[in-house]
A and B are shown apart, each in its own frame.
Chain A
Amino acid sequence: MKFINEAGWDRALRVIAGVVLLYLGWAGVVTGTLGTVFKWLGFLPLITGLVGWCPAYTLFGTRTNKAPQ
């Protein structure tokens, strides 16, 4: 589907990064302002990874997945 602009590896990486950020934030491994940022910012790669669509890619006119074949 053209809507999806992330490749499989990109999506997996985002989901992993999201879960790691959320863990670092919510588990208190990282505290302070950065910890709070991680707590909420972790949802961003997680959601974009699960959905397969990155708004930034659209903004810059790029994509990591190949066009439908």
Chain B
Amino acid sequence: MNAAVFQSRLEEHGRPVIVDFWAPWCGPCRAMAPLLADLEREFEGRVDVWRVNVDTDAEAATAFSVRVIPTLVGVHGGREVTRMIGAPSRTRLRSLFEQAETGVAVAPRIARRDRALRTAAAAGLALVGWRTGATILYIAAALTLLAALHDVFLAPFRSRR
């Protein structure tokens, strides 16, 4: 499909769309398919899912600068709101649907469990630092606490929410 046609179809479409860029030879795409279909049913009537085979619709993929698959793009009112690269967890995929539905991109946050683990580790390190007087442990505790409180810090290591 021509890129301009694809874009105009997205703009004319009345509902938010999740564009799933995939290919039949892509293992993660196939692994993610049942989960995507599940959420498609859950959001039926609110968010539509369009599947774009990058082998046959390369122009559409180029229009969205898709270089890796699977890539999921959340579109609201014809405009890209958010995207996810790789096979996401159910929680992250639901978040993608919600963002496409509302048209509001939500900044990713670290998992609550991660935050708790990091906070506990920081407390443990501070305690050991206090007991031993080792400055390096205070520094480690401060860095760990920063990682617990700051959502952007250690962003590549974000896990499931």
Q: Which residues of A contact B (CB under 8 A)?
A: 1-4, 8, 11-12, 15-16, 18-19, 22-23, 26-28, 43, 46, 49-53, 67-69
Q: From residue A35, how far is it (CB to closest CB) to chain B in Å?
A: 12
A23 pairs with B132, CB closer than 8 A: yes
B124 pairs with A1, CB closer than 8 A: no
Chain B residues lying within 8 Å of A53, measured Cβ to Cβ, are 157
B140 pairs with A68, CB closer than 8 A: no
A68 pairs with B144, CB closer than 8 A: no
A15 pairs with B128, CB closer than 8 A: no
A68 pairs with B160, CB closer than 8 A: yes
Query: What DSSP secondary structure best describes chain A's contact surface?
Result: helix
Tally B residues with Cβ within 8 Å of A. Answer: 30
Q: Which of B58-66, B96-104, B115-123 contacts A (4 or more CB under 8 A)?
A: B115-123
- CB nearest neighbor in B for A16: B124
Q: From residue B49, how far is it (CB to closest CB) to chain A in Å?
A: 18
Q: Mark B132-161, 1 if CB is under 8 A from A, else 0.
A: 101001001000100100000010111110
A3 pairs with B128, CB closer than 8 A: no
B124 pairs with A19, CB closer than 8 A: yes
Q: A2-B87, A43-B140, A69-B89 are in contact. Are A49 and B121 (CB under 8 A)?
A: yes
A26→B134 CA distance, assembly (Å): 7
B131 pairs with A69, CB closer than 8 A: no
A1 pairs with B158, CB closer than 8 A: yes
Q: From residue A52, how far is it (CB to closest CB) to chain B in Å?
A: 6
A19→B121 CA distance, assembly (Å): 7
Chain A residues lying within 8 Å of B118, measured Cβ to Cβ, are 50
Q: From residue B7, how far is it (CB to closest CB) to chain A in Å?
A: 30
A16→B129 CA distance, assembly (Å): 15
